[in-house]
Amino acid sequence: MFQTRNPSRKGKANILIVDDHPIARQGLAQLINQEPDLHVCGSVENAAQALEAIPLLKPDLVIVDISLKESSGLELIKDIKARFDGLPMLVFSMHDESLFTERVLEAGALGYVMKQEPTEIIIVAIRRVLDGDIYLSEQMTTWLLKKASHTHSQTVQSPVLTLSDRQFEIFNLYGQGKRTREIAEVLHLSHKTVEAHRANIMKKLNINGSFELARYACQWATAGLIAPQQPPQP
C-alpha cells in the first residue's frame, strides 16, 4: 500500500504524468520541473504504460488525463486505486469539471483541475493533493456541498448517471458537436466501437435516434452544473 507523502519529507516530490498528447505532457512537465519541490519522474501516454511505470518509478503523485489511448482515464484511476491504494491522483483534463468531477472522486482521485486553468492554480492543486487533501475549484466545491445538503428523496437522479465511464465520455463528446468518426479519432477507438457505445447509450437513455441523442447531449454539455435531468421525449 502506498503511503500519503509527508509534507515535511525532504527532497522533491516525484510525479508521473499520464496523457496521450506529447505536447501536453511536455508542457506540464516543464511547468512542474520549475518548482523547487516538484519533479516529473516520468510521463506515459496510456494506461498500460502507467501501470508498468508506477512500481518502477514509485511516484508520490500521478496526474491523469481522462481521455487516453485505448482506455478511459477513469478506468485507469480505478485500477491504480485497486493496485496501489494510497497513491494520490489528480485529474488534469480539458473536460469541464462539472461533468466529470463526481465520477473522478468516486473512482479514487483526490482532485480535478482543468487544463485551461492558470499555471499557479495547477501547482496549487498538485501540492494540495500531495498533502493528501482534495482539490476542486471553489465553484465545484460549493455545488457539491449544496447537493450533499439535499436528501436522497429530494434529488432527481438523471438516467445519464447509469452510463459507464466510457459511455459518458462518448456522450459528452456528442454534446460538444463531434461526430462518430471524430469521437473515434479523439478516443483512439474504432468507428464500430463508438457506434456500439452509441447504441448502448441510446438504449439506456431511452432515446430512439441519433438526432435526439445529439440534442440531449448538447443540452447536458452546455448546462454544466444544472444539466437536464431527463432526456427529451420523442
Full domain range(s) for residue 92: 13-143
- Which residues lie below 8 Å from residue 183, measured CB to CB, with a gap of 6+? 170, 173, 174, 189, 194
If asked whether residues 193 and 129 sit together in one domain, one would say no
Question: Under a CB-based contact definition with an 8 Å cutoff, are residues 194 and 183 in contact?
Answer: yes
**6 belongs to a structural domain:** no
If asked whether residues 122 and 185 sit together in one domain, one would say no
- Provide the domain count of the chain: 2
If asked whether residues 88 and 119 sit together in one domain, one would say yes
Q: Which three cell numbers stand for residue 146?
A: 449544496
Alpha helices in the chain (DSSP H): 22-33, 47-57, 73-83, 97-107, 119-130, 138-148, 165-175, 180-187, 191-205, 210-223
Ramachandran category for residue 206: left, alpha or beta (phi over 0 → left; psi -120 to 50 → alpha): left
pLDDT reported for residue 128: 95
Beta partners for residue 69, in sequence order: 46
**72 belongs to a structural domain:** yes
If asked whether residues 86 and 187 sit together in one domain, one would say no
Beta partners for residue 46, in sequence order: 69
pLDDT reported for residue 226: 42
pLDDT averaged over 10-residue windows placed end to end, the chain, 234 residues: 50 94 94 96 94 96 87 89 95 82 91 92 96 91 76 57 84 86 85 93 89 84 53 51
If asked whether residues 51 and 159 sit together in one domain, one would say no
pLDDT reported for residue 197: 94
Going 177 to 180 to 182 to 183, the CA torsion angle's sign is positive
- Which residues lie below 8 Å from residue 206, measured CB to CB, with a gap of 6+? 159, 231
pLDDT reported for residue 10: 64
If asked whether residues 169 and 118 sit together in one domain, one would say no
**234 belongs to a structural domain:** no
Please report, for the chain, how many H helices and E strands are present, in that order: 10, 7
